[in-house]
Amino acid sequence: MSDMAVSINDISPVLRMIFRQGENSAMIRYNPASSDQNNCLTIELPLQKDCEIIINTIKKAVGQKTSDIKAIFIKGVGRFDVLPLSAGLSGKVSGKVAVVTGAAQGFGLEIAEDLLSQGAFVFLADINKQQAQIQADTLCRSYGAGRAFALGVNVADGQSVRQGFDEVVKLFGGFDILISNAGVLKAGSVKTQTEKDFDFVTAVNYKGYYLCTQAAAKILALQHKTDSSYVSDIIQINSKSGLVGSNMNFAYAGSKFGGIGLTQSFALELVGDGIKVNSICPGNFFDGPLWSDPQNGLFVQYLRTGKVPGAKNIQDVRKAYEDKVPMKRGCTTADVMKAIYYLIEQKYETGQAVPVTGGQIMLH
């Protein structure tokens, strides 16, 4: 399809807002298998790809009949089914659709599950789609069918990111929350770290955040353009290493410092599109795979590189890091979720880097 042709991504987010009821957006599902125009509102759009014209044409055709329309057929594009969201959902993000990157394990998976527990529909986006699918199936058994979905997404690859968000639009019409959580770490001295390792960390942590925001912003902005009262959220899971340098961990810290620069810049640009952009800077998540993986976790890496003088085993490394925190423990998912829900609920906040560090890092 030509870039100038009207696409699913030009239509579904518009329909999602038009059929929105209160705070709950409708589920708009593209139905490529059906060419049936019976019991559909058929709409013919102008040939030119102009979002204002598309929005106004669809709004005029639908009028006040939203409760009576179960499907819409757009000539040249296809059928879009208007489906009710599951009834009985409750919680802080009830009825919202969220995309969480790096969600096949660890911190991202726990964030996804907490969002589900608070009434959201969640897409688990991860480079390991097989594992993401296993986790999504498990979550659906706990929270209900059709609540969690797996996406195979390499955040460092633009085409992969765009295809992932395209799938979200096909299934739900759009979304409301992006949690940019995918991240990697390669510890080491600036004297010896390879260019390959540096590029890997930068591509996932820095470039990946940009690519996900770029793809997400186009969809979220169109939803706001359709309904100016609509506000959405992009939240980057950053790190305390984005607020203060990290010895022998320069690639990670540099990518996280850069991420906060992106957050501030994205926030200034996207505020007019009803998109709030913020970062959360957690302290060390000691119990997650980033730290505790027995082969490649930070405890192992730091023991191997001698980052903690005198440490003879992983327990010594862990205690040294716990002792750096005034509250004497690592950060947990519950700590971070409080910050996520605050940022979503707070309508008068954008461009911020919120520390959740147990007092280890204090803003000046």
Would you name the residues annotated as active-site residues? Answer: 252
End-to-end, the C-alpha distance of the chain in Å comes to 51
Euclidean distance between CA atoms 117 and 115, whole angstroms:
5
Q: At 93, phi and psi to the nearest 5? A: -130, 35
Contact yes or no for 80/169 (Cβ under 8 A): no
Closest-CA residue to 187 (of 298, 22, 310, 288): 298
What token pair was written down for 331?
């950060």
Q: Strands 71-74 and 41-43, how do they pair?
A: parallel
Residue with tokens 């987010």: 13
Contact 100, 181 (CB under 8 A): yes
The DSSP letter of residue 155 is T
Tokens linked to 33: 């298998």
Q: How many residues does the chain have?
A: 364
The C-alpha atoms of residue 344 and residue 326 are separated, in whole angstroms, by 28
H/E element holding 112? helix 106-117
CB 249 within 8 A of CB 241: yes
Strand partners, 100: 124, 179
The two tokens of residue 255 are 């990518």
In the numeric block, the tokens 């709004």 are attached to: 59
DSSP 84: P
Which H or E run includes 235? Answer: strand 232-237
